[in-house]
Structure 1
Amino acid sequence: MTQDLANTEKKEDRQGGLSWPRIAGISFAIALHAAALLLLLAPISPPAQDVEEEDVVAVTFIEPPPPPEDPPVVFNDPSPMDVQAPPPSPPAPPSSVPDIGSSVDASSRAMNPPVYPREEQRRGIQGTTVLIVSIDANGGVLDVEVERSSGNRNLDREAVKAARRWRFNPEVRDGRKISSRVRVPVEFKFN
């Protein structure tokens, strides 16, 4: 038994050094696994290329109308048979409805005034924000833009918030209400 133990220790001492076949086998296994991983990560089919469609404009040529025929020859000397009464005067144009521009409905503005921010009021900040308000044909607000700032972001924000709640008198052209844009100054000042 002691002898077997001694033989085993000698074998282990011999195998403790570098084993080139073992190194080659482990390297091959690692390379094989890396190649398999890369194959799994590669797409099966390449991604479709984005093809830009050309803008095609269809052009149709329209033939111009034929030139007018020569007018018939008319003699300027009136004959006794040609004496006629003067032509009737044209009818008067219909009375036009005056064009009315857009404006803020005063009652709506009074019911929904802008809120003076407390911090700005406490610090004594005043200013005027000029808004451009897009309105529809019924007087509702479509969009509100700040044309000229008051110099304070909070005052501008409150002016826009209030203008979104206002109602407007829409613009009237030829007797019809139309959508339009109106410039509205909103003033923040102490009374």
Structure 2
Amino acid sequence: MPPKAHNSGGKAQKGADPFFIVAAMGLALLVTLGIFAMVPWMIGPPPSASDLDRMVSVQLKDLRPPEPEPEPEPLKPPEEKPPEPDVPMEQIMQRPLPEVPQMEPIPFTPDLSLSAVAGPAIAPPPPAGPMTFEAGEVDVAPRTMVQTPPVYPFRARRMGIEGWVRVRFLVGTDGVPRNIHVLEADPEGVFEDAVIQAISNWRFEAAVLEGRRVASWVVTPVRFQLGGN
């Protein structure tokens, strides 16, 4: 077996040279500074001249003072209305009250008669209208006083149409015809209007029954013929 070497390193570490320690610290400091110096180059390229100009312009804009904002107009204080003068209580109590017109009482005398107790009087029924009679029920039938012939319709005359209309109407006590109704017509829808218009202008002498005038019904035909009687 080889002989064991003596451990002389412990003494060397314990008695280290101070110069060696200072040199090691200086070397570490230089390495650290070198690393910090290389960081900007590792991050990105150095700024160009245009970038510097841009940065300067931005800084100049930032250095301009902001324009002062316009001061708001001062608010006008609300106008204070003068307080209404207090009216003394004495004046309120002494004000005269408005005069109220005095109404004279209306004398009321209740009607205690039998009619008032029995209730309101019932009005008599209205008088019935004049009685009407047929032509065979009167002593004297109505007589024609004015009888204007009806106008021949132009369309029927141009087309050569002839015909007749049978009508019924009421002759009043004044001799005026009323309630004109068409009973029959041949042909229909041609002569009816002309007949009604003509009869409304006729005038009669009223019928007579027992010496007095009465209203009576009349039924008569009206004929339309071209160039004839």
What TM-score does the superposition give when structure 1 sets the normalisation length?
0.45
Name the larger-Rg structure. 2
What TM-score does the superposition give when structure 2 sets the normalisation length?
0.37
